[in-house]
Amino acid sequence: MVEAKTSSFSRVTMTELMIPAYANFGGKIHGGILLSLMDKVAYAAASKHSGAYCVTVSVDTVDFLQPVEVGELVSLMASVNYVGNSSMVIGIKVISENVKTGQVKHTNTCYFTMVAKGEDDRPSMVPKLILENKTDVRRFVEAIFRKRFKKDYESNLKQIKKSWDKQEIATLLASERCINQSK
Ligand SMILES: CC(C)(COP(=O)(O)OP(=O)(O)OC[C@H]1O[C@@H](n2cnc3c(N)ncnc32)[C@H](O)[C@@H]1OP(=O)(O)O)[C@@H](O)C(=O)NCCC(=O)NCCS
C-alpha cells in the first residue's frame, strides 16, 4: 500500500445533465437523484485514495439549500478531507448551473464517511493524507471536530432519553404542533 497520498490525487468532479426523468411531481429534481450522485462521487474519491473497494457508512449534513431545475448541469466536487484507519471523510460541494443564463447556484455541501474494505470484506487500512496547504489543514481539522460533535450529540441524546420523565415530555410537547394522545 502507498504510505500517503495528497487530496488532489483523489479529487473528483462529476457533471450530470438534469433530464426530465429525474424530476418530481413539482417539476424539480428529486433529492434522491442528487443523493445517488453524491454517493457515486464520494465512492470515486474514496476508492482513488484507498485503492480499494469502499462502502458508505454515514452521510452528514445534507441540506438542500436551493431547488435544482430540469435542464441544469449539476457538478459535484469531491475531495478526501480526513482519513482515519479504514475510514475517509469525503467533502462534497454541489453546484447547479443554468446553461442559458450562466447562473450558478450552490445547492449543498455535505460529508460522506466511506470505509475501505479488503479482500476479506473487513475494513482495511488506507493511506495517510498529505496536507499540502491551509485549506487541506482546515478541512482535516473541521472533520475531527465534526466527529467529536457527533459523538457528543449521540451521548447527550442517550443521557436525555435515560432521564426524561412524563411531566418533562408533557411540558416540551405543549409548545409543539402535535396532539399527544398517548396515555
Ligand atoms: C462500516 C462497517 C464496515 C464497519 O464495520 P465494523 O466491523 O464495525 O468495523 P469498525 O468498527 O472497525 O469500523 C470501521 C471504521 O468505520 C468507522 N465507522 C463505523 N461506524 C461509523 C459511523 N456510524 N460513522 C462514521 N464512521 C463509522 C469506524 O470509526 C472505523 O473507522 P477507522 O477504521 O478509521 O477508525 C460495517 O458496518 C459495514 O459494512 N456496514 C455496511 C456498509 C454498507 O453496506 N453501506 C452501503 C449502504 S446500503
pLDDT tens-digit map of 57-102: 999 989 898 999 999 999 999 999 999 999 999 999 999 999 999 9
Ligand 1 centre distance from Cα of residue 113 (Å): 9
Alpha-carbon distance of 119 to 25, in angstroms, equals 43
Task: Name the pTM for this structure.
Answer: 0.94
- Averaged pLDDT, 167-178: 92
Mutate to test the pocket of ligand 1, among 53, 87, 89, 152 (most ligand atoms within 8 A of CB): 87
Enumerate the domain spans of the chain.
4-130
Q: Under a CB-based contact definition with an 8 Å cutoff, are residues 8 and 77 in contact?
A: no
Greatest alpha-carbon pair distance for the chain in Å reads 60
Query: Is the CB of 147 within 6 Å of ligand 1?
Result: no
Residue 183 has pLDDT above 80, yes or no: no
Residue with cell 465512492: 43
Predicted confidence at residue 89, as pLDDT, reads 98
- Which residue spans within the chain are E strands per DSSP? 4-6, 12-17, 53-60, 73-83, 87-97, 104-117, 128-130
Residue 165 has pLDDT above 90, yes or no: no
Q: In the CATH scheme, what is the code of domain 4-130?
A: 3.10.129.10
Among positive and negative, which fits the CA dihedral 83, 106, 62, 20?
negative
155's grid cell: 451521548
Ligand 1 centre distance from Cα of residue 57 (Å): 5
Contacts of 98 (CB under 8 A, 6+ apart): 69, 71, 72, 104
Predicted confidence at residue 151, as pLDDT, reads 95
Residue predicted with more confidence, 167 or 150: 150
Mean pLDDT for the chain?
A: 95
Atom of ligand 1 nearest to the CA of 58: 24
pLDDT tens-digit map of 23-61: 999 999 999 999 999 999 999 999 999 999 999 999 998
Predicted confidence at residue 41, as pLDDT, reads 98
Q: Under a CB-based contact definition with an 8 Å cutoff, are residues 12 and 41 in contact?
A: yes
